[in-house]
Structure 1
Amino acid sequence: MINFLFESTVSLIGFLAFYHLFLEGEKMHRFNRFYLLISLVVSFIIPLLNFEIIEIIPVQNTKTQFVQEFPISNQSIQVAEVESVNYLPTLLWSLYGIITSFLLIRFGKNVAQLYHKSKSNPVVKYKKAKLVLVDENTLPHSFLNFIYVNLDDYENHNIEDELYTHELVHITQKHTLDILFIEILKCLFWFNPIVYFYKKAIQLNHEFLADEKVVNSYNNVTFYQNLLLQKSSNIQTIYLASNLNYLVTKKRLIMMTKSTSKKLALAKKIAIVPILAGLVYFFSVEIVAQEKITSVESVNKKDTVTKKEKLVLEKTHKRKVEYLTYKVSDEEYYKDVVCVYYQNVEGNDMTKWPAKNIVFSKKYQELSKDEIEKLIFLKFRQEPTVKKSPTQKEINDFQNSKKYAIWIDGIYVDNSKLNNYKPSEIVSFGGSVVLKNARTKKHPQPFQFWFYTNKHYKDKNMDKWQSRFPSDSLIMSGSKKK
């Protein structure tokens, strides 16, 4: 959610800044209207898009190298489970729900009031609209296909034709729909100030469109400008309606006499493309490293995940995932380790293996190739942990408790605990896919990640951890029917 809000806000700022700098001052109001509306929608879509570019990286291994993609087993990690409840997200969501509900109710109430006004007052047909004659002292304003005017002004013919034409433009071009759309967004994203700036830009664009139609129809710019200045009194504007006196500013008065060449307008329209492409590239495109392994003699298939699962893991934590290629050969790693292999006829409990069923018991360097093959599926090796800090964006993503189970310094914690750490305080981290048959009710997440602080990294000598096999014996059972 945090990533979505951040990326959508940056997109909104980028599009709106481009509009104010290059588009607002040009006389291409119809294009600008749709630019504002579409850029609003696109800004909320960009964070949801995901395009992957797979980069193939060849990796060559020697005979003694052992390749493992991601460890799957949870048994290799000793954890002390810590139960904790974080009420902050619940409180924040509750606060958001209360404020949003209040704003939506107020929005609905204002729409109902305008609609009720059209039903409780006299209505007169006027061209493609309906005039609602109200007693209140108000300037003409429109909502949907209704134009609200003062009853006395209408009967005394005190309303100039230019004003009717102005409001008719709002109705025929359906500007009310734009206002309703941005108002709903304001209710949902009330905490984002950029949405409020968008509403101002949209409303001003509506006035540009209406002013342009009046000027072209009556061809008397000076009279119309004076009329607007005369009518733009301190009369309060109507919420949700298109108001005649909305922002009668220098911008509107200048725009009436301005012109824009077609070439300049086209150039500025085309300039939007790199802005859109840049936002999509930075927020929606991920480069996924996929290494091609060559000259590998043996690969432990039991401790690997499928290509699809690997790509999913790479996609979720948005970092290039590298294959783990062991620098220490098997001969060095298992040197002088006694390897015991027996035929199991009493189940899989290795604590009860009978000496009479031993097939062989030798040091690793004394084993034949066939005997090594019998032990291959028991091998679980871990290279010295490499220092690697996550980005703040990754830390934010890892707080999704539905996707990730999190351990910090070997202790299982609530995902929100990551808030207590800066990226620089975490010196190493890694993760794995958890296959469906390895998930539990307590840990149903499809991914697990563990993080190590600098102190833990130093205290546990993690840069040298398991450079040699940690035990003096290696026991493996085979199946045998009774």
Structure 2
Amino acid sequence: MEIYIVKVNLSLIVFYLCYKLLFQRDTFWILRRVYLLVSILFSFIYPLISVEGWIRKQEPIMTAIASIQMDEFVITPGEAEKLSFFTLENVLWMLFGFVAMLMLLRFSVQLFAIIKRRIRGEKIILQDVPVIRLKEKLMPFSFFRWIFINPFLHNHTETAEILEHEQTHVRQWHSLDIIIGQVQTILCWFNPAAWLLNREIRINLEFLADNQVIKSGFEPKKYQYHLLSLTYEPADSKLGNQFNVSPIKKRIKMMNARKTKKRGLLKYALIIPIALVMLVVSNMQEMIAATRTFVEKVVVTENVLSEAELNLDAELQQQKNKVKFTEPVITRDEDVKIYDMVEEAPSFPGGVTELYNWLGQNIVYPVEAQEKGIQGRVTIQFVITETGKVTQPKVVRSLDPLLDAEAIRVVNTMPDWIPGKQGGKAVNVRYTLPVQFKLVDNEPKMTPVEVVLIKKEVVSIKKDDELSNKNVYDMVDTPPVFPGGEMELYKWLSENIVYPVEAQEKGIQGRVTIQFVITETGKIIQPKVVRSLDPLLDAEALRVVSAMPNWIPGKQGGKAVNVRYTLPAVFKLVDNKPKKHIEARC
């Protein structure tokens, strides 16, 4: 939304400056009216115009790319930071909305006053023209098909001039121009160009009406003196077309001005290149995204995976943290094909949150282990079959026979999962689930236990061939939004991020930067570490991003699109002393 507002207001400024430099002194009032209206309407519409279809057929233009960057979020192992609603961005939005509402209220009051005057006024025929007779001493004005006038304040000739003037406003629908001008001032009240364009619209409408009065045969000097005689009478409504609109000097000067030569019409053709330039600038991001799609081939750079997140088998521990996959990772177990990496990961019914809830309700902390003060992490590996059943559970990182047995028991009682998919087909997938048993204050506690889910091994990935025909944008008109907004994102992160105990004990702190793609359906895919700190903290940041709920997708030209998003997270120890990590309570 911010980008859309910036584009609209920049366009209004450009069009106004062009008007002042090129067209203000012309006597082509009809063309000036068209220019002013097109300037406003185009400014609000062009940011929504997408040339994506055309750009996809062209060669790439440039590759300068800037990712969407979120404000830094600091995670400490203490209590979650209380976040204030009164951020600078929120305050500015509240100010914008408050002023816009006040102006809309004023607009509504003025509109109601005109309607009220129409209802209370007496409709009469004055010099063969239907009008609304006013009893008050007010300036004559018109609003769409209604002409308001107090005939007792003007002689016959003056009344004829007024009626011809106001009929021009009525016949040419000048009130529509005024409404458009008022609306754009309400929406862009902070932009001086919006107010100046609105003023130029009003003055130009009076030029048109004055010109028609002169063309109808009225004597110019008498008409001009008539305007001057009404200068100090109060106006009734800002929405109406006032007979006497300041500055009078400009109107009189324009009536006496020489007609602009026809070759001056060529200047108005400039509106076409101006509009094209605005369109190109507005769609520059689509060109950038098209360039990225053209250059990038079908290669998937996967997440930075820590040693704790991998299978923990001896052979897997030797793998590097950063892994590239161009094909799915497959192992075989008794001639059954089992995938370690798939395009669509298996999921617990109801999602990650329901998995947390289910584990919290079903895991029992053995009393004997509590009495012995045994706590720590047990890592279980199992296979989710193509039908969703959980099979072959085994301990790949042991802690204690009692806790190992409890972890195996719980995995064996799990309900069927939604199976993972490769190439659109359900397949068998190996899954790793670390579970941390923790005693509160080192005292034996009864169930339910506090369970910390550290990381799933099977990460949902999107192969590039799935996005080959869809651009991934780095900047869009409407950025993607976490459900509930930025404050809810911060709250969710503070409740779900766990500061690894091992990292605390080693005094490791600093920033991890994660980049991921939010698809046009709001799903989080392709998370990866773009600024590494430590395998433990890298893994935790990736875990949290992978567990995020669906976002509200970003939009370009009013259409949902894939957007690349960057999230920096700072892990910070309080007073440089190891602290207990934040538990994710199930």
Instruction: Report the TM-score, using the length of structure 2 for normalisation.
Output: 0.50
Q: How does 1:357-368 map to 2 (within 5 A)?
A: none
**1:99/1:442 Cα in 2 relative to 1: closer, same or farther (>3 Å)?**
same
Amino acid at match of 1:15: F
Match of 1:431 among 516, 531, 534: 516
Cα distance in 2 between the residues matched to 1:279 and 1:82:
45
Residue aligning to 2:240: 241
Does the 8 A contact of 2:139 with 2:243 survive in 1?
A: yes
Residue aligning to 1:14: 14
Task: Between the two structures, name the one with larger relative contact order (CA 8 Å, sep ≥ 6).
Answer: 1
Cα distance in 2 between the residues matched to 1:284 and 1:427:
32
Does the 8 A contact of 2:26 with 2:260 survive in 1?
A: yes
Cα distance in 1 between the residues matched to 2:127 and 2:279:
45
Does the 8 A contact of 1:4 with 1:47 survive in 2?
A: yes
**1:56/1:207 Cα in 2 relative to 1: closer, same or farther (>3 Å)?**
closer
SS class of match (1:131): strand
1:400 to 2:481 alignment: yes
**1:279/1:84 Cα in 2 relative to 1: closer, same or farther (>3 Å)?**
farther
SS class of match (1:203): helix
Amino acid at match of 1:174: W
Does the 8 A contact of 1:8 with 1:44 survive in 2?
A: yes
- Cα deviation, 1:335-391, whole Å, max 9, x if unaligned, reads xxxxx986588936563599xxxxxxxxxxxxxxxxxxxxxx9999xxxxxxxxxxx
**1:300/1:51 Cα in 2 relative to 1: closer, same or farther (>3 Å)?**
closer
SS class of match (1:347): strand
Does the 8 A contact of 1:143 with 1:242 survive in 2?
A: yes
**1:230/1:444 Cα in 2 relative to 1: closer, same or farther (>3 Å)?**
same
Cα distance in 2 between the residues matched to 1:448 and 1:85:
25
**1:432/1:121 Cα in 2 relative to 1: closer, same or farther (>3 Å)?**
closer
Residue aligning to 1:218: 217
Deviation at 1:277, TM superposition (A): 0.9
Residue aligning to 2:29: 29
Cα distance in 2 between the residues matched to 1:405 and 1:134:
55
Q: Could you tell which deviates more after superposition, 92-101 or 173-182?
A: 92-101
RMSD of aligned C-alpha atoms?
4.9
Cα distance in 2 between the residues matched to 1:454 and 1:395:
26
Residue aligning to 1:184: 183
Q: How does 1:51-62 map to 2 (within 5 A)?
A: 51-52=51-52, 53-54=55-56
**1:293/1:50 Cα in 2 relative to 1: closer, same or farther (>3 Å)?**
closer
SS class of match (1:290): helix
1:290 to 2:396 alignment: no
1:351 to 2:351 alignment: no
Cα distance in 1 between the residues matched to 2:332 and 2:486:
35
Match of 1:87 among 82, 85, 88: 85
**1:350/1:260 Cα in 2 relative to 1: closer, same or farther (>3 Å)?**
farther
SS class of match (1:258): coil
Does the 8 A contact of 1:84 with 1:413 survive in 2?
A: no
SS class of match (1:87): coil
**1:274/1:395 Cα in 2 relative to 1: closer, same or farther (>3 Å)?**
closer
**1:90/1:248 Cα in 2 relative to 1: closer, same or farther (>3 Å)?**
closer
Cα distance in 1 between the residues matched to 2:76 and 2:90:
27
Residue aligning to 1:153: 153
What is the number of residues matched between the two proteins?
358
Q: How does 1:408-447 map to 2 (within 5 A)?
A: 412=493, 430-433=515-518, 436=523, 442-445=548-551
Cα distance in 2 between the residues matched to 1:428 and 1:90:
25
**1:280/1:102 Cα in 2 relative to 1: closer, same or farther (>3 Å)?**
same
Cα distance in 2 between the residues matched to 1:49 and 1:190:
24
Does the 8 A contact of 2:4 with 2:478 survive in 1?
A: no
Instruction: Report the TM-score, using the length of structure 1 for normalisation.
Output: 0.60
Q: How does 1:108-123 map to 2 (within 5 A)?
A: 108-123=108-123
**1:143/1:56 Cα in 2 relative to 1: closer, same or farther (>3 Å)?**
closer
Deviation at 1:204, TM superposition (A): 0.5
- Cα deviation, 1:88-107, whole Å, max 9, x if unaligned, reads 36666555555444433432
1:134 to 2:215 alignment: no
Does the 8 A contact of 1:405 with 1:443 survive in 2?
A: no
Deviation at 1:142, TM superposition (A): 1.6
Cα distance in 2 between the residues matched to 1:195 and 1:102:
17
